[in-house]
Structure 1
Amino acid sequence: MTPAPTSTALSVAELADTALGSSVSTLDSDGVPSTPLLVVELDGTSWDAPAVEAATAVLAHPASPVAIGVATRRPPPAADPLLAALTCTLAPEEWSPLVVAEPGSLPLIADAVERAPLAALAMTGLLRLTAAASVAEALVAESLAYSVLLAGDEFAAWRAARPVRAVPEPAAPPVLAERTGNRLDLTLNRPERRNAFARGVRDALLEALDIAALDPGITEVHLHGAGPDFCSGGDLDEFGTATHAPTSHAVRLQRSAGYALHRLARRPGTTVHAHLHGSCIGAGVEVPAFANRVHVAADTRLRLPELSMGLVPGAGGTVGVVHRIGRWRAAWMVLTGAAVDAETAVRWGLADELRDSR
């Protein structure tokens, strides 16, 4: 294993010897940490209680870097406190919700952290918070982090490298609604844009969910996507058009489709189903994660690519996804931007059922 220049590899004993409470990193003149990524070698450790306790305390610092554990064999139960404190652990076997069986993904993580270290650090602290918070509280924290990063240099660099094109007016209603008895079917209806979660789509979905919330006769809500993909995430041609952080924060909370879905899904006697297929990127994963039941077709691929833009997930992904699969696997999804296939999504709990067809 060869860590990236911006990472440091330590054994558990070396991590334990770090000054208690230290952030194990310094800041340069621009406020960027010297070591935003810490790789912790978990093999060959004695796992004595004082070392585990000291190493865990170092990672509990609020400015702790992204900390990735690497193991080729399963550590003993004595290691559990440290594994819980790590951002995630890469190991060859699925033996714990704290582990992602993708040991070869460390270079992807190192590259992502090197390109967007401030967003990566924000993500690490945010996931710790949202994992323990209520949905409403966690959405506030996510919105604050996202809005700050939207006004930052890492996102600005991503935006500057990509031309902004005019978003065409929709030729049909962006969301279709059909009621049959007590069932309401809602379909994202911009297949020509891969159902990108643009403002028009979001607002139309919110309007339909508001109607459902006001009608106690609706006891089933089913969310679909027209065309080959359920939803390709936020419309990239709209990204960067609202970089005033306080306004972005206010709008994000006021117009949260994830929270609207969550409230409806928690209403007694109502069940919300999300039917996913094809690409489910960004908001295309984040919003449906709040449903009671998530059904995936075999071709479903789920991704959280926001870190590559210098951002964290901003449509509820650090909340709904984290509450479904834990912050460790959610961190891996954000850090790598890699696709999770349908079978893995069901195994992790990101989805509830694998369907034979759409």
Structure 2
Amino acid sequence: MSGSSSEVLLEVDGGVAVVTLNAPERRNALTPAMATELIGTLDEVDARDDVGALVVRGVGKSFCAGGDVQTLTEAGRDPAAPDAYAGMGAIYDSFYRLGQVKAPTIAAVRGSAVGAGMNMLLAADLRIVARDARLLAGFFKRGMHPGGGHMVLLSRLVGREAAAAMVLFGEELDGEAAVRLGLAWETVDDAAVEDRALELAGRVARDPELARLTVANLRKETGPPGVSWEIATQFERPAQMWSMRRSAD
């Protein structure tokens, strides 16, 4: 395991990597430094061929309370300032990096998950959520537009109606509602969340090579919603023009 002073801990046992968000004093809210540390930890996981599954969890009363308030405040003063822009980019990159981990991933969610914390759990392949968990978008409450692809990540699991209810109108979900809407696979008592996540992770981790190949194809085949007609037209145009030119030669 990484040093106890670290804000991101890593432990590997039996082919299962457990990544722990370890900043309970601020409810695991992400700073640029913590996000950068998380990215490095996930790189370390991917470098190990013996890892067949990953569980991400949080210490304390929250899974992740989103972006750190001080970080967001400083970025708001001048979002285009190089340091602010890079700092917010690191936070975005951290949960995007979780979504690219080679092994299947499970979010073990206890307590609250807000904003970027929701993006973190949404980036995982599967979610086990405590019955009394509090899941909310939370951006409007801070006077912010959603970021990090939040609406795409959320709507691909719960659909447009529930995404609108959460993002625009501030609706909050507990574990039972999360399962009902398709945001989580299972809801259990708070004390059982991590054990259940580890049980599931242990099954797939028995064959790391197969686990990595299968989850890669699962993501490709079931990935986010298709692009719009407008974007598809622009995306296809270079290839079509190339084919027309080739035919003319």
TM-score greater than 0.5 by the shorter chain? yes
Q: 1:228 to 1:240 in 2, by over 3 A?
A: closer
**Alpha-carbon distance in structure 1 between the residues aligned to 2:155 and 2:88:** 19
Contact 2:111/2:134 (CA < 8 Å) preserved in 1? yes
**Alpha-carbon distance in structure 1 between the residues aligned to 2:23 and 2:85:** 26
The letter for the 2-side match of 1:263 is Q
Q: Report what 2:223 is aligned to.
A: none
Aligned-residue RMSD, C-alpha: 2.1
**Alpha-carbon distance in structure 1 between the residues aligned to 2:99 and 2:11:** 20
Shift of 1:282: 1.1
Q: 1:284 to 1:217 in 2, by over 3 A?
A: same
Q: Report what 1:102 is aligned to.
A: none
Q: Report what 1:260 is aligned to.
A: 97
- Larger RCO: Structure 1 or Structure 2 (Cα < 8 Å, ≥ 6 residues apart)? 2
Deviations 1:306-339 (A, max 9, x none): 1233322223322221221123311210112232
- Is the aligned partner of 1:226 residue 2:59? yes
The letter for the 2-side match of 1:315 is G
Shift of 1:278: 0.9
Query: Normalising to structure 1: TM-score of the pair?
Result: 0.48
Query: For this pair of structures, how many residues does the alignment match?
Result: 184
Shift of 1:250: 6.1
Contact 1:258/1:316 (CA < 8 Å) preserved in 2? no
Q: Report what 2:149 is aligned to.
A: 316
Contact 1:287/1:315 (CA < 8 Å) preserved in 2? no
- Is the aligned partner of 1:346 residue 2:179? yes
Alignment match of 1:337 (pick from 170, 179, 185)? 170
Q: 1:253 to 1:197 in 2, by over 3 A?
A: closer
Secondary structure of 1:340's aligned partner: coil
Deviations 1:108-149 (A, max 9, x none): xxxxxxxxxxxxxxxxxxxxxxxxxxxxxxxxxxxxxxxxxx
Alignment match of 1:245 (pick from 70, 73, 80)? 80
Deviations 1:223-246 (A, max 9, x none): 000012211111112213233338
Secondary structure of 2:100's aligned partner: helix
- Is the aligned partner of 1:214 residue 2:51? no
Q: Report what 2:110 is aligned to.
A: 277
**Alpha-carbon distance in structure 2 between the residues aligned to 1:308 and 1:300:** 18
The letter for the 1-side match of 2:66 is G
Contact 2:128/2:188 (CA < 8 Å) preserved in 1? yes
Structure with greater helix percent: 2
The letter for the 2-side match of 1:283 is A
Deviations 1:12-58 (A, max 9, x none): xxxxxxxxxxxxxxxxxxxxxxxxxxxxxxxxxxxxxxxxxxxxxxx
- Is the aligned partner of 1:205 residue 2:38? yes
**Alpha-carbon distance in structure 1 between the residues aligned to 2:44 and 2:164:** 34
**Alpha-carbon distance in structure 1 between the residues aligned to 2:148 and 2:45:** 20
Residue segments in structure 2 that go unaligned for 5+ positions in a row: 194-249
Alignment match of 1:178 (pick from 4, 7, 11)? 11
Secondary structure of 2:72's aligned partner: coil
**Alpha-carbon distance in structure 2 between the residues aligned to 1:250 and 1:327:** 31
Contact 1:234/1:282 (CA < 8 Å) preserved in 2? yes
Query: Normalising to structure 2: TM-score of the pair?
Result: 0.67
Contact 1:282/1:315 (CA < 8 Å) preserved in 2? no
**Alpha-carbon distance in structure 2 between the residues aligned to 1:185 and 1:194:** 18
**Alpha-carbon distance in structure 2 between the residues aligned to 1:199 and 1:253:** 8
Shift of 1:252: 4.7
Deviations 1:285-316 (A, max 9, x none): 11111111100011111011112333222233
**Alpha-carbon distance in structure 1 between the residues aligned to 2:175 and 2:145:** 23
